[in-house]
C-alpha cells in the first residue's frame, strides 16, 4: 500500500481495507483542519473508519468506477437510500464509530474537515446550536453544501495556499450549514452592519488591504462572530469581505499600472502572492487580462 502525501501533515486513514493509495492536500482556517483526500481503491469492497478524537464533516465530491460509497454505522449494515451519486455530506461527532464503505468504486474524492467544539463556537457565536453537536448526521444531499465544499477544494489547491479571507469565509459557511440554530436570517442581519460598524470595518480594511486579512480579525473590529459579520457585511455592500478586498487590490494595481509599473511589480505591491493569481483575479473582475487592459488605456 502506497501513501502519497502532499504537504507534511499529521493525517491517517483508520483501518483501511481495499485502498491502493491516497493523496492529501491540507489547509487550516479558523482552527478547522481541512483535508482534500483522493483515494484510489483496488478492491471491489472497501472500507475505513471515520472515528477520530475530533469531530468530522465530510463531503463526497466524486466517486468513480460505476459503484457507490456511503457512511455506515456498521460495515455490513447498508443505509436506506434512494440516491447513489456523489455530492452528499455527513457529520460525525468525535469518537463516534462510523465507517466509510465502498462497493465497486475505484476513486473517491472527499473534503474532510476536522475540528473541536471551541473553534466552531467561536466562529458561529450565538448562532451555534449545541444540540446538533452530539448526534451524527449521515448521507445528506444539499447542493449548497456541495458547492461550498467544491470551492474549498479549489481554494486548498490554489497557489500559495489560496486566500485566507476566502478560505475562512467558505469554512464558516460550511460549519454554519451544519451547526447553526436555523437558516432564518435575523432582522439585525437583514439590515446589515450599522453605519458606525460599517465605517469601522471599511476604515480598517482600507488601512490593511495589501496584507493578508483574516475573517476573525475583521469580525473582532466590530465585535461580531465570523458568521454574523460575513452575512451582515454582504447585506450592507452586496459583496463579501473577500470580494471587497480583491476589488480594492485590483484598483490599486490599476493605479500602479497607469504609473508604468510592470505587471509583476503591480501584483506584488497590491498584495497578490504571485502574478498568475493576480492575472486570474484581474480577469475575473475586469473581464480582460492586465496586458490587454494596459493596451486599452494607453
151's CB contacts (< 8 A; 6+ apart) are 170
Q: What are the residue ranges in the chain where pLDDT is below 50?
A: 1-9
**Across the strands, what pairs with 109?**
38, 62
**Nearest to residue 75, comparing CAs of 97, 55, 99, 54?**
99
pLDDT value of position 250: 97
8 Å CB contact between 50 and 58: yes
Domains and CATH numbers, the chain: 2-141 (2.60.120.10), 185-238 (no CATH), 246-297 (1.10.10.60)
How far is Cα 66 from Cα 129, in angstroms, rounded to an integer? 38
**Nearest to residue 5, comparing CAs of 28, 32, 36, 34?**
36
- φ/ψ of residue 186, rounded to 5: -75, 155
DSSP conformational letter for 287: S
pLDDT value of position 161: 60
**Across the strands, what pairs with 116?**
none
DSSP conformational letter for 99: E
8 Å CB contact between 157 and 25: yes
pLDDT value of position 7: 39
8 Å CB contact between 272 and 283: no
Place of cell 459579520: 229
pLDDT value of position 189: 54
Place of cell 497578490: 272
How far is Cα 156 from Cα 55, in angstroms, rounded to an integer? 20
Tally Cβ neighbours within 10 Å of residue 91. 22
CA end-to-end distance (rounded Å), the chain: 59
| pTM, full prediction | 0.87
8 Å CB contact between 24 and 36: yes
Amino acid at each position: 500500500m502506497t501513501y502519497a502525501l502532499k504537504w507534511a501533515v499529521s493525517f491517517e486513514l483508520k483501518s483501511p481495507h481495499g485502498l491502493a493509495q491516497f493523496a492529501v492536500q491540507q489547509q487550516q482556517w479558523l482552527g478547522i483542519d481541512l483535508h482534500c483526500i483522493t483515494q484510489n481503491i483496488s478492491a471491489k469492497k472497501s472500507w475505513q473508519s471515520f472515528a477520530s478524537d475530533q469531530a468530522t464533516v465530510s463531503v463526497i465530491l466524486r466517486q468513480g468506477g460505476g459503484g457507490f460509497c456511503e457512511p455506515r454505522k456498521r460495515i455490513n449494515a447498508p443505509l436506506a437510500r434512494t440516491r447513489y451519486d456523489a455530492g452528499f455530506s455527513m457529520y460525525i461527532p468525535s469518537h463516534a464509530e462510523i465507517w466509510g464503505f465502498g462497493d465497486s468504486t475505484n476513486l473517491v474524492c472527499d473534503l474532510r474537515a476536522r475540528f473541536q467544539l471551541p473553534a466552531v463556537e467561536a466562529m458561529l457565536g450565538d448562532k451555534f446550536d449545541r444540540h446538533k453537536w452530539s448526534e451524527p448526521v449521515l448521507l445528506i444531499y444539499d447542493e449548497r453544501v456541495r458547492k461550498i465544499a467544491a470551492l474549498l477544494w479549489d481554494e486548498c489547491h490554489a497557489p500559495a495556499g489560496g486566500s485566507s479571507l476566502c478560505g475562512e469565509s467558505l469554512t464558516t459557511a460550511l460549519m454554519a450549514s451544519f451547526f447553526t440554530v436555523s437558516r432564518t436570517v435575523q432582522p439585525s442581519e437583514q439590515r446589515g452592519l450599522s453605519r458606525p460598524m460599517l465605517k469601522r470595518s471599511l476604515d480598517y480594511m482600507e488601512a490593511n488591504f495589501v496584507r493578508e486579512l483574516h475573517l476573525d480579525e475583521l469580525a473582532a473590529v466590530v465585535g461580531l462572530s465570523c458568521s454574523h459579520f460575513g452575512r451582515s457585511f454582504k447585506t450592507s455592500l452586496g459583496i463579501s469581505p473577500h470580494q471587497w478586498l480583491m476589488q480594492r487590490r485590483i484598483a490599486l494595481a490599476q493605479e500602479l499600472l497607469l504609473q508604468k509599473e510592470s505587471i509583476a511589480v503591480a501584483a506584488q505591491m497590491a498584495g497578490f502572492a504571485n502574478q498568475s493569481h493576480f492575472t486570474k483575479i484581474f480577469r475575473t473582475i475586469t473581464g480582460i487580462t492586465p496586458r490587454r487592459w494596459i493596451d486599452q488605456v494607453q
